[in-house]
Structure 1
Amino acid sequence: MDTGLAKQTAGELEGKVAIVTGASRGLGKAIAALYAAEGAHVALVDLKQHWAEAAATEIGNGAIGLGADVSDRAALTAAIDEAAARFGKIDVLVNNAMWNSYDLIADITPEIFARMTGVGLGGIVWGIQAVLPHMPESGGAIVNIGSMAGRLGSAGALLYAAVKAGVDGLTRSASVELGPRSIRVNAIAPSTVATEGVKAILTPEQFESRVGQTPLGRLGEIDDIAQAALWLAGARSGFVTGQSLAVDGGLGHTLRR
Structure 2
Amino acid sequence: MQQDMAGRVALITGAGNGIGREAAVQMAARGAIVGVNDLKEEFVDATVEAIRSAGGTAFGVVQNMAHREGVQAAVRQAYEQRERLDILVNNAAWVRYQAVPDIAPETVDRMIDIGFKAIIWGIQAASEVMDSERGGAIVNVASTAALRSTLNSVVYSGIKAGVLGITRAAAAELGARRIRVNAVCPSAVPTEGTQRNRNAERDALRVSRTPLGRLGNVADIARGICFLASDEAGFITAQSLAVDGGVTFTNI
| Fold match by TM threshold 0.5 | yes
Structure of higher CA gyration radius: 1
Q: TM-score range by the shorter chain?
A: over 0.9
Tell me, in whole angstroms, the C-alpha distance in 2 between the residues paired with 1:193 and 1:10. Answer: 25
**Change beyond 3 A, Cα 1:88–1:10:** farther
The alpha-carbon deviation at position 255 of structure 1 amounts to 2.8
The alpha-carbon deviation at position 78 of structure 1 amounts to 1.4
Corresponding position of 2:8: 16
**Change beyond 3 A, Cα 1:126–1:10:** same
Tell me, in whole angstroms, the C-alpha distance in 2 between the residues paired with 1:200 and 1:111. Answer: 19
Question: Residue 250 in 1 paired to residue 246 in 2?
Answer: yes
1:89 alignment partner, SS class: coil
Tell me, in whole angstroms, the C-alpha distance in 2 between the residues paired with 1:74 and 1:202. Answer: 34
Corresponding position of 2:84: 89
Question: Residue 39 in 1 paired to residue 31 in 2?
Answer: yes
2:32/2:57 contact within 8 Å kept: no
The alpha-carbon deviation at position 49 of structure 1 amounts to 3.1
2:168 alignment partner, SS class: helix
Corresponding position of 2:65: 70
The alpha-carbon deviation at position 79 of structure 1 amounts to 2.1
1:84/1:134 contact within 8 Å kept: yes
Corresponding position of 1:121: 116
2:39/2:64 contact within 8 Å kept: yes
The alpha-carbon deviation at position 221 of structure 1 amounts to 1.3
TM-score relative to the length of structure 2: 0.94
Corresponding position of 1:224: 220
Aligned-residue RMSD, C-alpha: 1.5
Task: Specify every segment of 5 or more residues in structure 2 that has no aligned partner in the other structure, as ranges.
Answer: none
AA paired with 1:248?
A: D
AA paired with 2:161?
A: A
2:17/2:192 contact within 8 Å kept: no
1:245 alignment partner, SS class: strand
Residue from 21, 27, 31 that aligns with 2:19? 27
Report Cα offsets for 1:93-148 as digits up to 9, x if no partner. 00000000100111111111110011111110111111122211220000000000
Tell me, in whole angstroms, the C-alpha distance in 1 between the residues paired with 2:95 and 2:86. Answer: 28
Moved over 4 A (4+): 196-200
**Change beyond 3 A, Cα 1:181–1:221:** same
Corresponding position of 2:141: 145
AA paired with 1:112?
A: T
Report Cα offsets for 1:185-218 as digits up to 9, x if no partner. 0000011113355456422111110000001111
2:64 alignment partner, SS class: coil
Report Cα offsets for 1:64-110 as digits up to 9, x if no partner. 11111112111221121122112210000000000001001111111
Matches within 5 A, 1:156-175: 156-175=152-171
Corresponding position of 1:112: 107
Q: Which moved more, 1:98-107 or 1:57-66?
A: 57-66
1:173 alignment partner, SS class: helix
1:70/1:126 contact within 8 Å kept: no
AA paired with 1:220?
A: G
Identity %: 43
The alpha-carbon deviation at position 153 of structure 1 amounts to 2.1
